[in-house]
Amino acid sequence: MSQDKDLLNPQERESLKQAELVDRLANSRGWEQVMRPWLWERLNQSFPDPSKFTKEDEFVYAAKVASVFKKVVAEILGWVEQQQEIAKMLRNKSEGKIKDAFDIGKL
């Protein structure tokens, strides 16, 4: 983070701190080589095979669970990317490169 913290209000400083933690996570080898590929694989995985179920309600339940899981995975992947963008924008604001990046906490 920049030495010129005065360009950020308290909420922006806190948001930057949290976003930078997520950014570090997303740039780690564990995320890049293990977690992110695993999440993408789950996101792109097809629905349950109907031939593996003897009852329709069991298949419908499994399909619903898979659908909800995919939505959660997509939300996690999107949230991590969003946090990386927030970190970038707030870093730029703290360095004076842009003004009023978000104005978090301002009315």
Band the pLDDT of 105: cuts 50, 70, 90. Answer: low
pLDDT tens digits, one per residue of 44-78: 988 888 999 999 999 999 999 999 999 999 999 99
**Distance set, CA 100 to CA 44, 56, 104 (Å):** 38, 54, 9
Report d(CA 13, CA 78) in Å as an integer.
Answer: 22
- Label residue 62 exposed, middle or buried (CB < 10 Å: 0-12, 13-18, 19+): middle
Cβ neighbours around 93 below 10 Å, total: 21
For the chain, what percent of residues have pLDDT higher than 90?
Answer: 72
Report d(CA 16, CA 6) in Å as an integer.
Answer: 13
In whole numbers, what is the pLDDT of the chain averaged over residues? 89
Q: Which two tokens stand for residue 6?
A: 């005065």
Report d(CA 102, CA 10) in Å as an integer.
Answer: 12
